[in-house]
């Protein structure tokens, strides 16, 4: 759990494809890119991608206009640090939720569901 002297960050991530994502979480992986292929928020040089470039790619990949807040919602994943808490509603099942805590390195998770 978070260090009480520094309570950390708390966020909720709602997802589709919960079976695949829950499997990733239980195997210790949290990464930006759970969504459609090609929608990474990290550029090839390691920095964040530009919001407007990402929205153009989103339209091309999905065939849909992204909601105005989609980029900001997903970008939160890049801001996670050790001890931060992630809640995933409806995971692993419809009437369940998962609480996970980020750890150092590749932002791996400990699952409390």
Which tens digits make up the pLDDT trace of 16-53? 767 877 887 777 766 555 566 778 888 888 888 889 98
- Across the beta sheet with 10-12, the strand order is 10-12, 85-89, 97-102, 109-112
Is the separation of the CB atoms in 15 and 30 below 8 Å?
Answer: no
pTM of the model: 0.64
What lies within 8 Å, CB to CB, of 92 at 6+ separation is 18, 19, 22, 98, 113
Q: Tell me the pLDDT tens digit for each residue of 64-86.
A: 888 878 888 888 777 777 888 88
The conformation of residue 1, written as its DSSP 8-state character, comes to -
Domain residue limits, the chain: 1-30+80-113, 36-77
Is the separation of the CB atoms in 48 and 41 below 8 Å?
Answer: yes
Q: By percentage, how much of the chain surpasses pLDDT 90?
A: 2
């Amino acid at each position: 759990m978070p260090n009480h002297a520094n309570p950390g960050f708390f966020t909720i991530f709602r997802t589709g494809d919960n079976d695949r994502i829950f499997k990733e979480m239980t195997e210790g992986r949290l990464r930006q890119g759970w969504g459609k292929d090609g929608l990474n928020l990290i550029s090839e040089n390691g920095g964040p991608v530009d919001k407007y470039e990402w929205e153009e790619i989103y339209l091309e990949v999905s065939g849909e206009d992204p909601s105005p807040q989609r980029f900001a919602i997903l970008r939160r994943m890049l801001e996670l640090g050790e001890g931060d808490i992630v809640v995933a509603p409806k995971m692993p099942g419809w009437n369940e939720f998962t609480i996970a805590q980020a750890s150092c390195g590749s932002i791996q998770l400990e699952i409390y569901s």
